[in-house]
Structure 1
Amino acid sequence: MAKLKHFECLKIQHFVIFITFVGVVSCHQSSSTLLKISGKQVVVDSTYVPVDSISEYILPYHEHVESVLDSTLAYAPWDISKVDGTYNTSAGNLMADIILKQAAPIFKSRSGKDLDFVLLNHGGIRSNISKGNVSARTAFEVMPFENSTVVVELTGKSVKEMLAYLIKSKRAHPVAGIQLVLDKDDRIQSLKIGGKPFDENRNYYVATSDYLVSGGDNMVFFKDALEVTDIDYKIRSAMIDYFTKVDTLSPKVDLRYYKVE
């Protein structure tokens, strides 16, 4: 009888060992492997039915964002357009002046150098600013892209190439800090930067967008930049910051770039 008990105990021990071994082996062999990824396109159109629980969850956040975007920051006494001038426009002048004003102190604090002028692109302005209240939403409409402000160091020779591009393009690309006067044959009659005559023998610091520095709008002259400084400041953010500082936006077509007829 003692032997039987001993045998039964031995069988139990062997059974436990076997189960343990099987458990270890099964755990070792059960690692998950991704075999397939599948997906489907969900068309969001007039037939799409929102999920109530999700809509209710995000509603407070949506309302908060909408209220922030629509809060009045400044006022425009007239329509500010990108097509109201041949060589410069009220919208372009506003954009370039904002970057000159907002970016200059940042660049100065980080580099100890002065910003000379600004060049943006006409196509980057995606909307006019209508007469009336101006809000953060206005900035998103005018500049929906995530473009950042960068400062580029150009030689006098590269600046001349930039001016040649500007003249040849026959578009009102926004500029600030510069006065360019053409004669009736589209030759440079007068050029001042920062109120001083252009000096081909010195370098200039130009604020522009990262898109243009990468060759956007065929502004290939930026490839010859001696130095490029990203000041980590989105153009749209500069606009919003400027709107909060001023009461009234009153840009006009002026004499920063024009042609003598």
Structure 2
Amino acid sequence: MKNSLRNLAFLGLVALGACSPKLQLVKTEKKLIPITENLPKDSAMLAFYKPYRIKLDSLMNDVVAISEMEIQKAQPEGPLNNFFADAMYDSAKDKGIAFDFAYTNYGGLRIPLPKGEIYRYKIFELMPFENALVTVKFKGEDIQRFFDYIAEGGGDPISGARFTISNKKAIDITINGIPFDASKTYTVLTSDYMANGGDGGAIFTRLIERENLDFKLRDAILQYLEKLKKAGKTLNPVNDGRIKIK
């Protein structure tokens, strides 16, 4: 009897399933909904993210540095160029990373930094990408090509090296105060974006060794600013002749 009841129940479910309607999409209509201040607020969504917004606003509005001037980029060198590259260099050295000089691309400097209080969110605007630092090693002959690449573009942010641009070529190169030696190998600290060939960086196809570092470029900038702040120093980068034009 029990088996008969089970079978009847099963057959009933099958019959109901067979009789249920099958829905099919027969028409779609596109509609543009403008996002304006007149849209009604979703109180449930606002309540959901409010605690996160309060925490994020508190973090992003933290003053990370005091600048004595507006810091802008320029070529062949500029205060923002030098600040950015020096921050990379200093923070990486503090972490014990081995390299000879630091380099990044001029186009990666997204905004100038204002005079006075610099809030954390400004550093995110300056460096909005999640790029990490890497070290790449080159033969000496390719380091000459590397500096020629910088010279041809009019100058990029560097730290730990100096040179002169003459007819779009690099001359009088020194690295950490020592004249460049084409018979040696050199290690460059840069971003994974550039090491991957970004921004026209075909020179990076000539590297002979690469090490990816678990250290974000933005974090290197913030670490450098925190170091200055703890030392009671303001931010005052200047042009120092690290890249000249003959």
TM-score by length of 2: 0.85
CA separation in 2, counterparts of 1:45 and 1:250?
Answer: 41
Q: CA-to-partner distance for each residue in 1:16-52, whole Å, 9 max, x for gaps?
A: 24236548979xx9xxxxx98x998765333433201
C-alpha change, 1:21 and 1:46, in structure 2 (3 Å) is closer
CA contact (8 A) 1:107 1:115 kept: no
Report whether the alignment pairs 1:19 with 2:8: yes
Q: Which segment is superposed worse, 63-72 or 14-23? A: 14-23
Paired residues, number? 236
Give 1:118's aligned residue.
Answer: 102
CA separation in 1, counterparts of 2:51 and 2:42?
Answer: 16
C-alpha change, 1:52 and 1:194, in structure 2 (3 Å) is same
CA separation in 1, counterparts of 2:137 and 2:171?
Answer: 24
Shift of residue 60 of structure 1? Answer: 2.4
Larger Rg, first or second structure (1 or 2):
1
**Runs (5+) with no aligned partner, structure 2:** 19-23
The Cα RMSD (Å) is: 2.8
Report whether the alignment pairs 1:224 with 2:225: no
Report whether the alignment pairs 1:182 with 2:165: yes
Q: Aligned to 1:167, which of 151, 159, 165?
A: 151
Give 2:176's aligned residue.
Answer: 194
CA contact (8 A) 1:106 1:231 kept: no
C-alpha change, 1:107 and 1:216, in structure 2 (3 Å) is farther
CA separation in 1, counterparts of 2:37 and 2:236?
Answer: 41
**Runs (5+) with no aligned partner, structure 1:** 1-11, 30-34, 109-113
Identity %: 27
CA separation in 2, counterparts of 1:69 and 1:21?
Answer: 61
2:37 alignment partner, SS class: coil
Shift of residue 182 of structure 1? Answer: 3.4
C-alpha change, 1:48 and 1:203, in structure 2 (3 Å) is farther
CA separation in 2, counterparts of 1:45 and 1:63?
Answer: 23
TM-score by length of 1: 0.80
Q: Aligned to 2:142, which of 158, 176, 191?
A: 158
The residue type equivalent to 1:52 in the other structure is: S
